[in-house]
Amino acid sequence: MTRPRLVDSAHRLLPLAWPVFVGQVAVLAFSTVDTVMVARASALDLAALAIGAAAYISVFVGLMGVVLAVGPIAGQLFGAGKLRESGHATEQAMWLAIALSVLGCTLLLVPEPFLALAHAEGSVAAKVRAYLQGLAFALPPALIFTAYRGFNVAVSRPKSVMVLQLGALAVKIPVNALLVFGATLPTPFGEWRVPAFGAPGCGAATAIVMWCQLFAALVLLRRDPFYARFGLGRVPSRPRRTSLAALLRLGVPMGLSILIEVTGFTFMAFFVSRIGATVVAGHQIAVNMVSMMFMLPLSIANASSVLVAQRIGAGDAADARRIGWDGLEIGVLIAVALGGTVYLLRQAIVGLYTSDAVIVAAALPLLAWVALFHVADAAQTISAFVLRAYRIATVPLVVYVIAVWGIGLGGGYVAAFDLTGLSPPWMRGVRGFWSMATLGVAVAALAMAGFLAWKLRSERRESRAVSVPATRS
């Protein structure tokens, strides 16, 4: 790989990557706002928030992955100049989001499986139910907005999504504070008292914000002339079986892949909670670091996937291969630099979270695994996104099942609790989970990057085979 080519690819990726990064950080900040405010309410509310958030994330991300199938489809159509067809795919994705909301809302309104898994009872269970009831109203607009987001990123317009996500965060903070802590507000008709809802207030606040965000997106679709050429902003087309089937063929394995990734962490949190409160605190710091660091490779993965899909649609297979592999190299190089920095500054970083010496001692060893995990996570994420641009989603799903659930979660459980009696002392407890999770994601990275390399070489051979007869003729 020549340095000028890598720099050129970086210049092409940057305009797409940075708005996605900023927008995703804003989305991540939603949970941070919830945690910070609820932590000041009560320990009971914080426990309910932790369980409820894990349940909502598990439901939302799986359904979100299905809807995000619109990205590769709309991107390829956009690259081919088929703008109306690209807009039609987006409308169909919105219909799909509405249909999936029925399933998702049912799961959130009947959360007994999640409560049983977390052993939540009494007051905690009641608050979890109230919190998830609010989020059940947030799910439909969140999924419909996901279709809007996937389309805009696919047609190289991520800034409009970023602005709406930042605006949503700006609204979330005061509404959250009002509903979590309560307030007495003067009105011309007397005082208006808003009770302090605690954790359930977070769910209600998110529902209000999600509907506002969707309304703003629909207004933009209708009034921004950019969308007119896609046929968007008018009366939407009816649901089409063939279009919905195409979305589901790609979206179902995408959604399952994302669900496996997320549950690999949420289930780990449930298991780690059995070890002890101090261990959980150290684990939570490591998870928060991984989540924040992940936003960077995720933005590069999105940008790479968009450009690859567009070049495939435009019939430029060589450029699609080039930008796909360059995106992987750029992402891994940045991940190595970021992971190394976190490892070198781990003492100072943990100090930003807590001054408790016991929690610091629990968190510090995990940050070494965080650095390694991040590099492998970046490689597998970017590879998976590029493969999705080629509409390949089943292979990543199989890899995730084996690597994330089998090696990472299953192997971590065996090692951490020494089920075989063979775990060395350093692998028992939470470090067993993190070491096996890192091994699992490394296996996923090697498998995914290897499959991507094979796919790109196969494409190159096919292109040469087609071009040779054409040259001779």
49 and 154 together in one domain: yes
Alpha helices in 110-121 (DSSP H): 112-118
445 and 360 together in one domain: yes
Between CA 338 and CA 235 the distance in angstroms is 47
Residue where a domain stops, chosen among 206, 239, 272:
239
Residue 470 pLDDT exceeds 70: no
225 and 264 together in one domain: no
Look up residue 190 and give its DSSP letter.
E
152 and 191 together in one domain: yes
What per-residue confidence (pLDDT) applies to 53?
Answer: 85
Residue where a domain stops, chosen among 239, 271, 289:
239
What per-residue confidence (pLDDT) applies to 2?
Answer: 62
> Is residue 10 domain-resident?
no
Tell me phi and psi for residue 65, to 5 degrees. -60, -35
86 and 235 together in one domain: yes
Strand partners, 119: none
Q: Maximum CA pair distance of the chain? A: 88
> Is residue 59 domain-resident?
yes
Where b means 16+ CB within 10 Å and e means fewer, 173-191 reads eebbebbbbeeeeeeeeee
195 and 269 together in one domain: no
179 and 300 together in one domain: no
Model confidence at 393, pLDDT cuts 50, 70, 90, reads very high
> Is residue 7 domain-resident?
no
> Is residue 473 domain-resident?
no
3-state SS record for 283-337:
HHHHHHHHHHHHHHHHHHHHHHHHHHHHHHHCCCHHHHHHHHHHHHHHHHHHHHH
What tokens does 112 get? Answer: 């007994």
> Is residue 138 domain-resident?
yes
What per-residue confidence (pLDDT) applies to 22?
Answer: 95
281 and 417 together in one domain: yes
93 or 280, greater pLDDT: 93
Q: What's the domain range around 58?
A: 16-239
Model confidence at 312, pLDDT cuts 50, 70, 90, reads very high
pTM for this model (two decimals) = 0.88
> Is residue 327 domain-resident?
yes
What per-residue confidence (pLDDT) applies to 471?
Answer: 53
> Is residue 129 domain-resident?
yes
Between CA 327 and CA 303 the distance in angstroms is 8
DSSP-derived pairing of the beta strands 183-187 and 190-194: antiparallel
| For residues 163-181, average pLDDT | 95
177 and 41 together in one domain: yes
What is the sign, positive or negative, of the torsion defined by CA atoms of 63, 272, 199, 114?
positive
Residue where a domain stops, chosen among 239, 266, 297:
239
Three-state secondary-structure class, residue 187: strand
CB 74 within 8 A of CB 155: yes
Helix (H) / strand (E) element for 194: namely strand 190-194
297 or 122, greater pLDDT: 297
Model confidence at 240, pLDDT cuts 50, 70, 90, reads very high
| For residues 383-389, average pLDDT | 95
- The per-residue pLDDT for range 110-141, each reduced to its tens digit, is 988 888 877 777 888 899 999 999 999 999 99
- The per-residue pLDDT for range 412-437, each reduced to its tens digit, is 999 988 888 888 888 888 888 899 99
Look up residue 227 and give its DSSP letter.
G
274 or 399, greater pLDDT: 399
320 and 194 together in one domain: no
Between CA 380 and CA 384 the distance in angstroms is 6
Between CA 230 and CA 433 the distance in angstroms is 48
Between CA 15 and CA 245 the distance in angstroms is 32
> Is residue 470 domain-resident?
no
Share of the chain above pLDDT 70, in %: 97
CB 142 within 8 A of CB 61: no
Strand partners, 192: 185
Residue that is written with structure tokens 């930042």 in the block: 166
Number of domains within the chain = 2
145 and 119 together in one domain: yes
Three-state secondary-structure class, residue 183: strand
Residue that is written with structure tokens 């809807």 in the block: 67
292 and 264 together in one domain: yes
